Every structure is written in structure tokens, then in C-alpha cells.
Homo-oligomer: A and B are copies of this chain.
């Protein structure tokens, strides 16, 4: 490596160290940053200057320096310039959000639309319009969007930007990234994975230990977070909780199997076509016994599938998200009971059920959050961004 190249690589690495430290422990004085990172004060001052110029950090007023009692100027992560776009295609809605570098949610939109009635091309065109409108809104807020992640309801190929199969949409090998044609870098990921990360970064994730996040939609997915990172499996397809077999002789599933959890506890099993989860919640709140029974049946099936998940991956906590967030009061009891009955004798610790803090927005937020993680892991690659406009 030539000296100049090596110097650039070292600077990029140090920028990431300083921004990462501000992210985890800021606000911090330059002196504290030097102490925590082992870099010299001169180096830290230069790096902080670069981050401030790029709009990624900002001075946040005088603070008393803990150790020595001398007052100093603290620096913190700034959300005023760099942001991320999160998009989601699901079966019956499109969603989008803009999240800034400090992980504040600046814009959040959901469009109810039956994507089963449209072709993949039409759905992607609809998402493009939504995404373009969000980029305009971000620009209006003075934000520059560093990139975009699209949440998709099925196993994806992150390298080619396509979804292998989204049985609830009737999609098979659909290329999304290229077709979307937005003026920012676009990646794709599975919505259940992103929802788990959304709960980790924007919900109560950090306090949950190792957790399994369940995303209830028309389909049901799950994301397992171990030591603060997503467990993806060998091909990135881990967490397909919706196709865990609840009863092998049960009804046929769109995945080609039979008796999958989705057929017992997915949205289509709970509400008639044309109705939404809010209609069901209203009936439940009004004391409708049929609605309560449907939720109890779904909860019991969910408990069977979660028993299996606990037997296989042994999480600390299970977080119920998506439609299971508003339905939590009616679904969680029967699910917990099924788990206790099946697991209580073998295990000292049966994982607790908890309700998602971010609910239906988890995947969209996780999508934007993934871009923010990338910027914080390598801010050097995004410094030019803020010189003018979005990244081409």
C-alpha cells in the first residue's frame, strides 16, 4: 500500500472509531474522546472537525468533564444533515420513512393498497413514487439521504437485490433494486429480519437480551437477535416462523407445505378479506366472542410454533410485533399458556412474551436503520455526500 493510501485508510478507520464512540456514549468532550479511543487529542480534534463539517457531529455546549472537573465543549452525533430512506413492500400496504443519523424518525408514511391485485412492476412503480416523494420531503428538511433499504415479505438475495419468493404476493424471483431506479443506493432485505432490527434500534431491543422478534402480517416472519446482531443462517433465510409446521395434516399453505403457522395465525386466518386488523380490534374491544375465540385459536397455534422455536434457538425473550402488537391482549395469553404447558417441565426458564414497542413500523424503521448503521460504520465513505445533493 502506498503511504497516501495507507493514510487514507487509517483516517477512514479513525473517523469510524470517533463517530461510533459518539453514537454509543456521546455527548463527549474531545478530551474524553481521546481518552476512550486511545487517539491523540490533535488527531481527535482534526477528525471531529471533519465530522462537524460533514454535518455528522455537532458541538452541544459546555459540559463538566467528569474525570477532572474542568469544563469542556461536548460533541454529539448530529441528525441535521445525513439521513436514510426505509421502504417496505408488504401484502396490503406500502410504507416509507426517513430517519436521520441520530435515529430520529423525521417522516413516516403508510399507504394501504392491495398489492396482490397488482403486478410486481406496478407495485414497484408505486414504491418508486412513494420513495421519490420521501426524498423530496427529506430535501425540504435539509437532509441528504445516504441510501435506502427495501423490506420485502420473503427470502431475498441481497447481492442481486431481488426477492426469491414472496408466496403471499404471488411473487417469484422479482428483481427490485434495479427496477426501483431511485437516485440513491438501494439494497433489499427480508422484512422480518428488518423488523427485528427495528425493534433493536428503535424499540426496547437493547434491554431484551437475545430475543426473537415475531412479525405478524399476512405472512409471519421472525428475526433472531443474538449478542446485538441478527442471526441470518447459512443463506440468509433463517427466521421463517410462518412456515413452521403447526400440524402436518393441516390446510395447504401458499409455500407448498401444509399446516404452516401462517394458516392459523396470519392476518388472513384472523380477518375476512376486505377487513383490516383495526376492524378486528374494534370487535374484540366490543366483546365479540367469535373474534376472541379466533384470537385464542391463533394464540394457541402461535404458542406451538414458539415452543418449537424455543426448543431450537432458546432466546431470552420473544417480542410480538406487526399485527400481534395491537392483538397482544387477546393473543399473548393463549400463546404463553401453550408454551408453559409444553416447556415448563423441561426448562427452568420459559422465555417471556413482550409486545413490540414499534409495532407495524418495525421493518420500515429497521430498513432505514440499516443504512444509518452503515454510515456510522464507515463515515469516511459518506463525507462527500454532504458536499451537495444525494449520492448518485
**Is residue A64 within 8 Å, beta carbon to beta carbon, of the partner chain?**
no
Instruction: Flag if B346 contacts A255 (CB, 8 Å).
Output: yes
Q: A233-B210, A256-B341, A307-B245 are in contact. Are A167 and B346 (CB under 8 A)?
A: yes
B307 touching A257, Cβ below 8 Å: yes
Residue on B with the closest CB to A342? B257
Contact A314:B248 (CB < 8 A) given known A155-B346, A210-B233? no
| Beta-carbon contact of A314 and B237 below 8 Å | yes
Q: Does A164 contact B (CB under 8 A)?
A: yes
With an 8 A cutoff between CB atoms, is A59 at the interface?
no
User: Is A286 close to B, CB under 8 A?
Assistant: no
Which of A257, A304, A349 gathers the greatest number of chain B CB atoms within 10 Å?
Answer: A257
Mark out the residues of chain A between 225 and 258 whose CB falls within 8 Å of any chain B CB in the assembled complex: 226, 231-241, 243-249, 255-258
A92 at the interface (CB under 8 A from B): no
> Are A346 and B164 interface neighbours, CB within 8 A?
yes
Q: How many copies does the complex hold?
A: 2
Most buried by B among A209, A314, A348: A314
Cβ A257 vs Cβ B341 within 8 A: yes
A345 in contact (CB, < 8 A): yes
Q: Is the CB of A233 within 8 A of B304?
A: no
Interface size, chain A (Cβ < 8 Å): 52
Q: List 23 A-B contacts (CB under 8 A).
A: A155-B346, A167-B345, A167-B346, A224-B312, A231-B231, A234-B314, A235-B314, A235-B316, A235-B348, A237-B314, A238-B314, A240-B311, A240-B346, A241-B312, A243-B307, A243-B311, A245-B307, A246-B248, A255-B345, A256-B342, A256-B344, A312-B312, A313-B313
For the complex of A and B, the 6 pairs showing the least CB-CB separation, nearest first, are A233-B314, A256-B345, A257-B342, A240-B311, A238-B314, A210-B234
A residues lining the B interface (CB < 8 Å): 154-155, 164-165, 167, 209-210, 222, 224, 226, 231-241, 243-249, 255-258, 304-305, 307-309, 311-316, 341-349
